[in-house]
Structure 1
């Protein structure tokens, strides 16, 4: 299981691969990280770390889990259903309901199958779009005691994110409806990956595109963050699900459980954290990381505020 992880496992941390089913019976592939000297006769707080949209556990989540396990947490990372090593057919389908459910499925597993986890002390961290899915899960799953998001994206805000007019929304619906007919005729769903099967050798070799695409490529399309299970994007008609489901409709119901929003000071996604912060009820905190863009909080350990995350969860998982 060592192949493909974007960071080296710390010598004081162990990683175990596990599998379990969500409540729909779909298998989820996950990794559990813990300090090698952890006394398994005792119970510890646990953190569930969700990957960015289209990402896998071998990317940003392994960076977080590797660090947080050194700090006394049991950390679980996972591949979303229909992604990576998890089950679900067809592949590369995006479902906000199922993606939120994956956080609760991890709570199920940790609380029942891992004897050294204190089931009353489970928190979640959502990186990028997993921030929205984690908040959605926590809005109904009271077993999640604290939530942190980093470089949050609300993928379900497709209308606001793309600043669509009513005419554009109607046109998108028509195109997606037509694609459904074509998918059915073809016997498979259209999927167009965003990133190459083989990474570019360096950032200097990347093609020039728009600034945001350039940023994604500087992580996913080069050795820094490339993984063969994370080619980017989802089936074309997955956008229909995002037009039906709003991750943050009930964010205020997470209270009195706390939320920490972490965003880079010049991240293109910063507004998502700010909007979610405004919608959330107390207790909540918006923490801005200086000199950080969106992808810096995926893997740059000198910029990810691990001291802040450690303090937040140790205080709120007491």
Structure 2
């Protein structure tokens, strides 16, 4: 992987911290083709985005990774807030940053969104025509997850009601009301996991809360007030607007979120593709990126020309 340049760029009122990866020396000449890579919820640029940047820069693409507003090394208060609309704005502002780089052909910019950003990236591309191709890996719409849960056949309405009540209390705490603690998305240590914890969350825990990907700036926390922003967000409803630009959604046969990629592709118009990798779980797609990476190289190689 090429040595990245530390960069910053604005997104609304916030300065975002990014890493600008030039193509690896001796890699194919992509004539300025560049890809924004956006990270999952509660994640940072040094985790799964770096894994995909490694593959893509070796194939000659320029890549930009960054920490979302409120998270990682980027600005934004309150810390660890997950705001889908700010996240979408971050992607569009990352595109603007690339447009300003002399190494980048502004007509050859694509976006890759991972997990929650697999919802934000298509949403951004629906209306930002500067994005010439959009791909996702282990895509999740956080609004769908808030309403329905992580698994396809679950229902989250009663849990969501509790989360929305907590969101209101969290907002009231700004005026001296009851302090609502940050929400820990996963057990801090695998040994703390309850026996009844769903396998889909164990999958995530095996990535984020072990040496496999642990990073101190990935805090494993989010704010209760985020749920009232997420609850009626719908990432894929207007995926048809991406056409005639291409959409690729990558998932795994063992991914608990596979159904979300299926729904995302269903709501899009051609050219579109669902690419399913045998044997991979949701979290596997964060770091077992050889097959997904090869598919992305082919996809962006054909799309950003």
CA distance in 2, matches of 1:172, 1:186: 17
Instruction: Give the alignment of 1:219-234 within 5 angstroms.
Output: 219-234=207-222
Tell me if 1:257 matches 2:257: no
CA distance in 1, matches of 2:76, 2:14: 6
Three-state SS of the structure 2 residue aligned to 1:87 is coil
CA distance in 2, matches of 1:76, 1:16: 10
Tell me if 1:236 matches 2:224: yes
CA distance in 1, matches of 2:4, 2:40: 20
Q: Is the 8 A contact 2:30 2:61 kept in 1?
A: no
Query: CA 1:90–1:166 in 2, change beyond 3 Å: closer, same or farther?
Result: closer
Tell me if 1:312 matches 2:299: yes
Q: Is the 8 A contact 1:50 1:77 kept in 2?
A: yes
Q: Is the 8 A contact 2:24 2:57 kept in 1?
A: no
Alignment equivalent of 1:216, drawn from 204, 227, 231: 204
Tell me if 1:190 matches 2:181: yes
Tell me if 1:20 matches 2:15: no
CA distance in 2, matches of 1:19, 1:306: 26
- Could you tell me which residue of structure 2 aligns to residue 34 of structure 1? 22
Three-state SS of the structure 1 residue aligned to 2:131 is coil
CA distance in 1, matches of 2:198, 2:294: 34
CA distance in 2, matches of 1:109, 1:17: 13
Shift of 1:62: 0.3
Query: CA 1:108–1:165 in 2, change beyond 3 Å: closer, same or farther?
Result: closer
Instruction: Give the alignment of 1:145-294 within 5 angstroms.
Output: 145-157=132-144, 158-161=146-149, 163-164=154-155, 170=161, 172-185=163-176, 190-195=181-186, 207=193, 208=195, 209-294=197-282
Q: Is the 8 A contact 2:125 2:242 kept in 1?
A: yes
TM score, norm. by length of structure 2: 0.90
Structure 2 residue runs of 5 or longer lacking an equivalent are none
Shift of 1:54: 1.1
- Could you tell me which residue of structure 2 aligns to residue 93 of structure 1? 81
- Could you tell me which residue of structure 2 aligns to residue 54 of structure 1? 42
Q: Is the 8 A contact 1:265 1:290 kept in 2?
A: yes
TM score, norm. by length of structure 1: 0.86
Structure 1 residue runs of 5 or longer lacking an equivalent are 1-9
Query: CA 1:129–1:240 in 2, change beyond 3 Å: closer, same or farther?
Result: same
Shift of 1:291: 1.1
Three-state SS of the structure 2 residue aligned to 1:156 is helix
* Total equivalences in the alignment: 298
Summarize deviations over 1:33-86 as a string: whole Å, max 9, x none.
Answer: 1234379x9941001111111110000000100111010000110100000000
